[in-house]
Structures are given as C-alpha cells and as structure tokens.
Amino acid sequence: MPSPEPTRTLNVSFFGAGLSSAMGLPNTPALLTELRRSGSKELLAQLDEAYRFLYPDAIYEHYQPDVVDFFSSLSAFVGIGQGWPGTKFKNGRELFRSLKKAVVKMLIDKARAIPDDSLKKHSYLTEVVRPGAVVITTNWDPLIERFAELNSLALSYSTSSGKFSDTSVTLLKLHGSVDWTSREAATRAFTITDYAALGELRYAVRPYTRQLPDSPDSLVRVRTKWSSAWQTVASRTREPWIVTMVSGKQDELGPLASVWRDAYSALGRASSLEITGYSLPADDVEVRTLLRAGMQRGNSNPKSLLVRDPSPAVHARFRTLLDHHIESNFVGVPPH
C-alpha cells in the first residue's frame, strides 16, 4: 500500500474528452451522432430498435436520446432485465457489444486521420507529455500512445512496484482503451505473441516482454501496429474493454482497480495537477471522488492546481466539487 504521507513531487496531467475533441474526435454528447454517420446498417437498425424500446418519443423521426442516459438505460436492461418475457427486445447484450466495437473502430479511424506530423509536433502535448510525466485520462482513444510512438517516448500503463518512472511516460487510462481486452474476451491463444501485460513498456529502446496475468478477468493490451490497429483489435477480442458512460460504473471498473490505485497514488504525490478538457460531469462520481481523495491525501495539497477549459461553468463546478482555489485557464486545447 502507498504511504499515507506522500511527498508531492510529480507533475500530473488529467485529460478528458475535450483534449481529443480539439483534434477532431467526438466528445461524449456527439458519440451517438457520430456512430449513426459511421456505423453499419445493421448497427443502425439495432440502435433504432433499442431507442423504440427504451424511449416513448422514439416513434418520432430522427429521435436521438441523451448519450449518458441511453448507455445507462441499456446497461441497466442488460444487467437486470435481459430475457424478461414479452419485452420484444432480445438483443440488448449483443447491441452493447456491437456498440463498443463500433466506438473503437470509429476512434481508431479518426485518430489515424490526424496527420502524423501534426500530432508529433502538437504544441500542448509536446509541453506536457514527456519523460517522467504522469497522464491520467478518461479517454479510450490512442492519441497519447501515437504521440509517444512518433516521438520515441517509452510509455507504460502502470507503475513498477508503485514507483513512477522518470524516464518514461506513465499513462493511466481510467476507463480502459480501444486496444484492451479481458482474458475471457480474447479470441486467440493467450500468449505474448498477440497480447501484452499492461505493465510492459511500449516504444522502449530496449523492449522486453512481461508475463501475462492468470486471472480470467485480468486486462491486457492487444499487440497492434498503427497501420492495422482496428483489424488486429477486431480479430483478437470479442469485446474491447472500454467503460461506457453509464451512471454507476463500479462493476466495470473492477478489472481496472490497479489503474485506479496508480492514479490515486499519482494524485496523492502531485506537486502540480493540470486538468484539461474534463468537465466533471454529474454522472462521473467515481472520477470526482478519485480526484478529491487524491487532493486530500496526506497533509499537503498540490502547489499548483490548474483547470484548462473554455467554459466558465466548468471552472465553477470544479470550485464547488473539488477545490475552492483552482487556477483557471479559459483557453482551450489548440488543434495542433
């Protein structure tokens, strides 16, 4: 267990969807709209069926529900009501799985559309994503990984024995990632040829492999190449491990417990904390609790707590729910 009285020496960045949307990826409110543009005819038919089952107003043309409410309602039905006789909606679990794969494909495709040179030299990422940095994010997309690869930055998804490296980037993805899977969802023989432990360094000068975890619900990374990322992920997992935007995520967060422990440890050791593109939404009570707990750990707070977002309402929310003394930067993330 980490010491209850940590020394605050780390520079920690916390990224939300606003960072990715600045580079052309959809944020949460736009997710269903984007899926309707890019999804298959079969997926769209499944969505329409689910809308009609869950919402009376779905009888009207072009109806689209709130994203968080839809995922929460679908998750609740799958969890407690799937198979109830007479509902005429039998494919909820299949739809949930199809939606996750469609989201993953869409995010990978949109990330690949960003020119390598633009991403490699991105002004804000160059400033904050560097050796020794700890990045905590709620995003699923592979933008930070691709930035690290283009700049030859070693990257890991976990700490080594609770110690944060000063020679690599530590990327803690609280809600999973487009290329993560549980062991039980893997579709290939569970070997280091196709899968990697989350603690294994990526893009290291001297790469090495780590033993894969034994537990069936342990999470691993699918080994991919940028040029064929979606095809590889699709062929190696039945269901990528991305925690959707539902109210009450505790069950899905279970396999991510080690990531959350690392995030708490990093926040508790943060000398500076910059929160970028994250709006602290009401449904994200788990992340809010994590941030607050990390701020309150030990006898001192971070010397610098900065929130970067163009919306005044977001800064007011952070002052109400996280800390009265945040610094505000109302300039959003630059697109390049």
Confidence of residue 312 (pLDDT cuts 50, 70, 90): very high
Residue at 242: amino acid letter: I
Q: What burial class does residue 142 get, using C-beta atoms within 10 Å of its C-beta: 0-12 exposed, 13-18 middle, 19+ buried?
A: buried
8 Å CB contact between 137 and 20: no
8 Å CB contact between 194 and 222: yes
* Euclidean distance between CA atoms 221 and 240, whole angstroms: 10
* Euclidean distance between CA atoms 214 and 219, whole angstroms: 10
Structure confidence at residue 249 (pLDDT)? 61
For residue 319, pLDDT beyond 70:
yes
Strands 195-197 and 219-222: antiparallel
Average pLDDT over residues 134-156: 97
What's the whole-model pTM score?
0.94
Structure confidence at residue 327 (pLDDT)? 96
Residue at 11: amino acid letter: N
316 phi/psi in degrees, rounded to 5? -65, -40
Mean pLDDT of the chain, nearest integer: 91
Average pLDDT over residues 53-71: 92
- Write the pLDDT tens digit of every residue in 238-250: 999 999 877 666 6
Nearest alpha carbon to residue 215 among 178, 277, 257, 250: 257
8 Å CB contact between 35 and 106: yes
8 Å CB contact between 238 and 185: yes
**DSSP characters for 260-281?**
HHHHHHHHHTEEEEEEES----
For residue 2, pLDDT beyond 60:
no
For residue 298, pLDDT beyond 80:
no
For residue 171, pLDDT beyond 90:
yes
What is the layout of strands, in order, in the sheet containing 270-276?
155-156, 169-173, 134-137, 10-15, 270-276, 304-308, 327-329
Structure confidence at residue 76 (pLDDT)? 86
Confidence of residue 251 (pLDDT cuts 50, 70, 90): low
Tokens coding 281? 């939404």
What region, left, alpha or beta, does residue 4 occupy, with left being phi > 0 and alpha being psi -120 to 50 degrees? alpha
Q: What's the CA angle centered on 153, arms 152 and 155, to 5 degrees?
A: 130
Structure confidence at residue 61 (pLDDT)? 87
Average pLDDT over residues 164-180: 95
* Euclidean distance between CA atoms 138 and 84, whole angstroms: 33
- Write the pLDDT tens digit of every residue in 215-236: 887 899 999 999 999 999 999 9
Structure confidence at residue 93 (pLDDT)? 87
8 Å CB contact between 164 and 134: yes
Which residue carries 């110690």 as its tokens?
163
